[in-house]
Structure 1
Amino acid sequence: MDQTVQISRNRGRISKEELISTVRNGQIDTVILAICDMQGRLMGKRLTGEFFLQQGLKHGAHFCNYLLGTDMEMNTPSGYQKVNWSDGYGDWLAQPDWNTVRVISWLERTALILCDAVDESTGELIDISPRSILKRQVDRARKKGIVFSMASELEFFLMKDTYEEAYQKGYEHLQLAGHYNEDYNLLQGTRNEPFYRKLRQWMAATDIPIESSKGEASIGQHEVNIGYSDALIAADRHALFKHGAKEIGIKEGVALTFMAKPDHRWTGSSGHIHMSAQDLHTGKSLFYDAGTNSDGMSSTMQCILAGVLAYTRDFALCFAPNINSYKRFAIESWAPVHIVWSRDNRSSGYRIVGSESSLRMENRITGADINPYLAYAAMIGAGLQGLEEELTLATEHQGNAYEGKEGALAIPRSLYEAVDCWERSEVVKKVLGEEVAYHYGHAARLEQQAFDMFVTNWERRRYFEQG
């Protein structure tokens, strides 16, 4: 069979053997080896086809371990135990996961492979790597006979400016791609459909299946729903979508932002996560039980949901990782403020939707700025903890969850509060391990310190004359 046809039929996914063949016959001349950093960004190297066959195929690629110890601006702050100047910032290995080989539809003759960060001398996963963190929780679930299926809904703002123009403007006075609220509005959506159609089609052709896209609840805001799948595959697709959407934006002369709250006047951008569970051996839903008195919610689902609710504050750094994340949580803003659950209620932190085999929970706390590997790992880890502890599910919240009710826990209101919850939590250390808990807690403290030293335009406008 002609290899070009085979790639097309596989919708972008090819095997290791097919990659070798396409590199040899010249269809692919660039191979990207990528890891996910702490902030959820893809980092890596572009290998020539020839070098990939000679070296990358067997050994992967080395990368400086500082990539798992930087801030958003790629500074190398001190205080990390595993990556620091004292140890000389050595190399770790980006080891290809051959189940993730993709032909990238929006780049010319290019394939991409997601990699695991490993210690070359031992072959062991680097524990602080986001993909490693999720893989450990997936393995923990499989040992209990559970497979978690997940999916992300990602919201973002589209600008008519390029990224370079936005930078030159200081990210002020940006041109939103629209002039009125486009939530479900097909007419406004049509204005940007030439871009969104390319986004959907190119993603689908790269094995990032898109169920739908729609206008969201603000000017220039859009939402894309990524197809449901196994937790690790879903997190891979989430990370690839965000990276790819920005690359497509660069090609098309526009900019997208996945900031949780780009402007205090705009609706925040969510990154809702849907989760269900199946029996490892039978594939049967573990969330649905027709014999219960809880509208089909099995005892397993109730314990897992109880765990997620109980430990949301502990894992808040995974659900809201940045200073800006906490600006999104506001009353009647479509982002929740209380850690409660309800059936089909968009004011609650956790919304239960679907029925029978499609019964699932939706995490509405997470924003579009999450690292998917960390957010998915936190949901699974907290849920499994609830199962192990046989936690009892709290009563469903009825009515407007923004009003809360007596005893309802609030989502942390700042990164300060989230760091405090994280550092006090024994569950975070138990689920993720003490090294991971320290590493990401330290990163959050550094981010807060960097912000605290910065003077904002808000302060100048408020205090320059009147202060």
Structure 2
Amino acid sequence: MNDETLKSNIFQQIIDSPHQKVKVAIADIDGVLRGKLMHKEKFLQVMESNFGFCNVVYGWDMADQSYDNVQVSGWHTGYPDAEAFVDWRTYRNIPWENNLPFFLADFTGSQASSAMAACPRSLLKQVITKAHTMGFTPFFSQEFEWFNFKQNSRELYEKNFQQLQPLTSGMFGYSLLKAAEYSEYFNDLFDLLAQFRVPLEGLHTETGPGVYEGAIQYSEILEAADRAVLFKSAVKEIAFKHDIIPSFMAKQSQELPGCSGHVHQSLWNIEKNKNLFYDGDAVHNMSRVFQQYLAGQIHCLPHILPMLAPTINSYKRLVEGAWAPTTLTWGVDNRTTAFRALPLGEKSARLESRVVGSDVNPYLAMAACLASGLYGIEHNLSLDLPPTSGNGYEDIGGGRLPSNLFEASQAMDKSPISRELFNPAFVDHFTQTRFWEWRQFSVEITDWEKKRYFEII
């Protein structure tokens, strides 16, 4: 069935829908979905053309505070509408909202609009186009760990985000017993996500009180990123129905492991019938393409780290001995390194980026992974860094990762490599939003400071 037929069928499904409204969403720079309900008649019109969406979506942070250091949006622009375009291929029905129709939109068609330069989904599509031009079809998937708390939203604010009750107690990784403790919620996640076209490969408890991990089934990269963005939002909405609050913060507590958002990736041929990462005659069964791709990621990581670790909290996860990498390392099936090569077979050979936390914007994380991998192929980089055998925290031959968001953002802002990988307008906008995030943190008086200095100093 060709695209026009598919689009026509979706158009007809919306016409025939018993609902008089459609939900439409756009991902902001932090991966938060911003959207609205549209009357069905209005939506059918914009599905054929475009619609206006206020450019403030890229002019404020996750707390709706207006940036004072970006050009794309701000008081100086007057916050006009930017031209947004519905991607009809993202059509879904929301099963926990009586199968309400849902679509994603982006600013890809707004060539003259500054919103396009800041649009994460548009950025990823640009990198995908380059991959196709180079003869590759990227297949990706993402897995998330997250904490669950037995609270509702009102209680969360009443408690000032303190002394929250974990859904379950104790350290129970892969525990069937703890999964059964809230089995209705646990099973709803798996089943409703599948109905929402975000199919899971696996769902289990992770080590930590109330921690779950979900691995999303792999697909072509744009669909994989859509699924990942929708996964985080859908988990929160499903949890609301159970009076549960999920949290995708990278690090909840110094005493507990952090929450990852590992990205799995492979390159296939244009026909999608051959995994180009596998070579049974090569060392570790890693093809030349795989080696160059990995070399590119290692080389570029210090220049684009904020796209994989975007918040203040991200860097509190990237500490030794907490199942998150701190060094520029790779290894074959080694979970202590930044990059875990898995050349397991012709169909399953892939690379896992373990730097990525659960707090990322999946569009930006996947764009960063793919662009840096393509850089390695395009520049014919050799995989000169030897694989780590054993403890990756002790292997500092490749260097260490930046230790905080400010340091990482400075490196990205000043890097010619980041501007080679991405539109300079995006790099300018994104790094300024990260500097803004650092400024917001820097002026706050923390509980640690009060405990440290209040009485004794």
TM band (smaller chain): over 0.9
1:141 aligns with 2:131: yes
- Give the conservation status (yes or no) of the 8 Å contact 1:29–1:109: no
Aligned positions of 1:330-349 closer than 5 A:
330-349=319-338
CA RMSD after TM alignment = 1.7
The one-letter code matched in structure 2 to 1:298 is S
Per-residue displacement from partner, 1:95-134 (whole Å, max 9, x unpaired)? Answer: 1111111111111241111112156585998122000110
Write the distance in 2 (CA, Å) between the matches of 1:177 and 1:130. Answer: 33
Identify the match of residue 99 of structure 1 among 82, 89, 105: 89
Deviates more, 1:230-239 or 1:62-71: 62-71
1:326 aligns with 2:315: yes
1:209 aligns with 2:194: no
Write the distance in 1 (CA, Å) between the matches of 2:264 and 2:103. Answer: 25
The one-letter code matched in structure 2 to 1:258 is F
Structure 2 residue aligned with 1:28? 19
The one-letter code matched in structure 2 to 1:24 is I
Write the distance in 2 (CA, Å) between the matches of 1:121 and 1:432. Answer: 16
Name the SS of the counterpart of 1:149 in structure 2.
Answer: strand
The one-letter code matched in structure 2 to 1:316 is L
Name the SS of the counterpart of 1:71 in structure 2.
Answer: coil
Structure 2 residue aligned with 1:41? 32
Aligned positions of 1:182-193 closer than 5 A:
182-193=172-183
- Give the conservation status (yes or no) of the 8 Å contact 2:84–2:109: no
Name the SS of the counterpart of 1:101 in structure 2.
Answer: strand
The one-letter code matched in structure 2 to 1:153 is E
Name the SS of the counterpart of 1:412 in structure 2.
Answer: coil
- Give the conservation status (yes or no) of the 8 Å contact 1:340–1:348: yes
Deviates more, 1:347-356 or 1:392-401: 347-356
Q: 1:430 to 1:463 in 2, by over 3 A?
A: same
Structure 2 residue aligned with 1:401? 392
- Give the conservation status (yes or no) of the 8 Å contact 1:34–1:94: no
Give the count of matched residue pairs. 451
Identify the match of residue 413 of structure 1 among 380, 403, 409: 403
Per-residue displacement from partner, 1:320-350 (whole Å, max 9, x unpaired)? Answer: 0000000001211111111211111111111
Name the SS of the counterpart of 1:153 in structure 2.
Answer: strand
Name the SS of the counterpart of 1:315 in structure 2.
Answer: helix
Write the distance in 2 (CA, Å) between the matches of 1:299 and 1:198. Answer: 43
Write the distance in 1 (CA, Å) between the matches of 2:17 and 2:91. Answer: 17
Write out the 4+ residue segments of structure 1 that deviate beyond 4 Å after TM superposition.
118-125
Write the distance in 1 (CA, Å) between the matches of 2:295 and 2:20. Answer: 50
Write the distance in 1 (CA, Å) between the matches of 2:373 and 2:208. Answer: 33
Question: In the TM superposition, what is the alpha-carbon distance from 1:15 to its structure 2 partner?
Answer: 4.8
1:367 aligns with 2:363: no
1:382 aligns with 2:372: yes
Once the two structures are aligned, what percentage of the paired residues are identical? 33
Structure 1 residue aligned with 2:293? 304
Write the distance in 2 (CA, Å) between the matches of 1:436 and 1:21. Answer: 37
Structure 2 residue aligned with 1:11? none
- Give the conservation status (yes or no) of the 8 Å contact 1:34–1:43: yes
1:162 aligns with 2:152: yes
The one-letter code matched in structure 1 to 2:207 is A
Identify the match of residue 226 of structure 1 among 216, 239, 246: 216
Name the SS of the counterpart of 2:177 in structure 1.
Answer: helix
- Give the conservation status (yes or no) of the 8 Å contact 2:138–2:220: yes
Structure 2 residue aligned with 1:453? 443
Write the distance in 2 (CA, Å) between the matches of 1:295 and 1:63. Answer: 49
Deviates more, 1:277-286 or 1:423-432: 277-286
Write the distance in 2 (CA, Å) between the matches of 1:122 and 1:391. Answer: 35
Name the SS of the counterpart of 1:150 in structure 2.
Answer: strand
- Give the conservation status (yes or no) of the 8 Å contact 1:16–1:101: no
Write the distance in 1 (CA, Å) between the matches of 2:227 and 2:423. Answer: 26
Write the distance in 2 (CA, Å) between the matches of 1:122 and 1:437. Answer: 18
The one-letter code matched in structure 1 to 2:341 is I
Question: In the TM superposition, what is the alpha-carbon distance from 1:409 to its structure 2 partner?
Answer: 1.7
Q: 1:257 to 1:434 in 2, by over 3 A?
A: same
Identify the match of residue 286 of structure 1 among 259, 270, 276: 276
Q: 1:289 to 1:159 in 2, by over 3 A?
A: same
Name the SS of the counterpart of 1:100 in structure 2.
Answer: strand
Write the distance in 2 (CA, Å) between the matches of 1:35 and 1:52. Answer: 15
Name the SS of the counterpart of 1:256 in structure 2.
Answer: strand
Structure 2 residue aligned with 1:8? none
- Give the conservation status (yes or no) of the 8 Å contact 1:22–1:28: no
Q: 1:123 to 1:448 in 2, by over 3 A?
A: closer
The one-letter code matched in structure 1 to 2:335 is R
